[in-house]
Chains A and B, each alone.
Chain A
């Protein structure tokens, strides 16, 4: 809020944006065929401006590799990272718990269950929107069940909310296993999708996630200061003029929507929503109006880096969800342990 901290915020936003942009270009160059930054930029500008003359002297496979294979995947990874980090900011802000993220509430499992159902039944009634739609329905139904379980006397208890989320998430995971058991031949599709993958990313998935992230970002930014006030507890925030119950529901729906779209497009990718807001709070403090944009960009960078490592650095492509869980799981344990210790000293 002071001049100094808003200057630090501006610098951080600029540094992160620059890192993200160069990360996108750099990772596009990496892979089986190595492509220089100049060639990438010329290819992109040639497509954007529809001027084939820019491609003179560039290998004819390069525009295909850049525009049809790598960029959709890279942008999907970046946007999903941004979306998951954003959902993490919202869930943490509303649950007043730095350990909360789309998984703690069971929302991801709900979305995954809905999407698995669509995959298994081969439901295509809404064309390419079938899976996202089922994922969102699964996420929202899960959200309402979890909220219903944790509401007493008209008040949502933050602690019970997490407990309910974990329980419902466990039931849904069992449900997904059951679907896999039923799936038989399609089991491989579900398993691979569940572990998270950007391989089948297309420009339509880029567009879908971009719209979801943008909409979600706008709604959250609109309620940014309310979200700060809500951290005082619902009684105090009500008395400070915030329609706490309403804002909570709107933001929970928003976060669940963004999560559902991310899960539908790429499967379960854990811990981004947990790690990123936690790290960024360290730099910009708890103000959600700053935390939200910074976390979104940083989430994009993190997931892009993880995907580039599995795509272009590791000898075998590890599912991205497995990679983030391997990095994020221990991180979760460290935060958890730190909080426990601090709690004891206080």
Chain B
């Protein structure tokens, strides 16, 4: 392990026209960890992810990725390192599941080249891991929301990157597939030393799977640290304004959040 953080984000701010979205973010993200980004709607989580992917550039401050400024990377090279699983996916045209997963290999295929055997291997393996091999010839326009979402996860796996960024990627999945995707992500971190950065709405999922949690509120990082340290009733009250209790759940052996449901 080297000493450089994977991401070194220093004093980053970002504004849309006049509306300030992110303010003075300072954070270092390390390789081989599962990060959860948690916060109320509209607190700037998605914009933060866009900065990490390089889709947007900060108004001020700097982002270093692998100890080089993020904007100094060519977009295509960056796509070898970082993949995105977006929340929504729709293509207006009838691509098949296999074609969509193959698009994950786009950064590796030469402009006028065809997919290599290795590319097809990645595509096959990704579909198998997510369990959508039998859907491969189906048109994405015919799929249910959950099936589409799994195809997008498979596309990110086929992209074979060190960093995977999930933007509420499981919000349209039922509990079985949600756990499946999180288990796949967790294995990538544990066994292959990859890094997952996920925006998660479900605090219990975040508590169960993440090594570290970044709490955001009003465009600022409110709290960041080891999950067990920062997932506390005080932080949750501070960030979301709801009353909770956090305790070690004997069944899952993870810290879980109980909510006070009625006032």
Contacts and interface: CB of A to CB of B under 8 A. Distances in A.
Interface stretch (A35-43, A229-237, A266-274, A299-307): A229-237
Contact of B103 (A97, A153, A228, A243): A228
Contacts, number: 79
A287 B50 CA distance: 28
A235 B55 CA distance: 7
Contacts of A293: none
A242 B76 CA distance: 7
Nearest to B102: A1
A329 interface: no
A19 interface: no
Interface residues of B, number: 38
Contacts of B86: 233, 235-236
A232 B83 contact: no
Interface in A262-298: 281, 285-287
A286 B92 CA distance: 9
Contact of B84 (A97, A228, A236, A281): A236
Contacts of B69: none
Q: Which of A228, A236, A287 has the most CB of B within 10 A?
A: A236
A241 interface: yes
A310 B80 CA distance: 55
Chain A interface main SS type? loop
A322 interface: no
A328 interface: no
B106 A286 contact: no
A222 interface: yes
A286 B96 CA distance: 10
A232 B89 contact: yes
Interface in A133-162: 153-154
B89 A240 contact: no
B99 interface: yes
B83 A285 contact: no
A154 B59 CA distance: 13
Interface string A210-245: 000000000000100100110111011011111100
B53 interface: yes
B200 to A, nearest CB: 18
Which 4 residue pairs spanning A and B have beta carbons closest together?
A241-B79, A286-B93, A239-B84, A241-B76
Given A236-B86, A240-B83, A240-B159, 19 more contacts: A1-B99, A97-B92, A98-B92, A98-B93, A154-B56, A229-B106, A233-B88, A235-B50, A235-B55, A235-B84, A235-B86, A236-B84, A238-B75, A239-B53, A239-B82, A240-B103, A240-B106, A281-B93, A285-B94
11 contacts: A1-B99, A1-B115, A98-B93, A233-B89, A239-B53, A239-B79, A239-B84, A240-B104, A241-B78, A241-B107, A242-B75
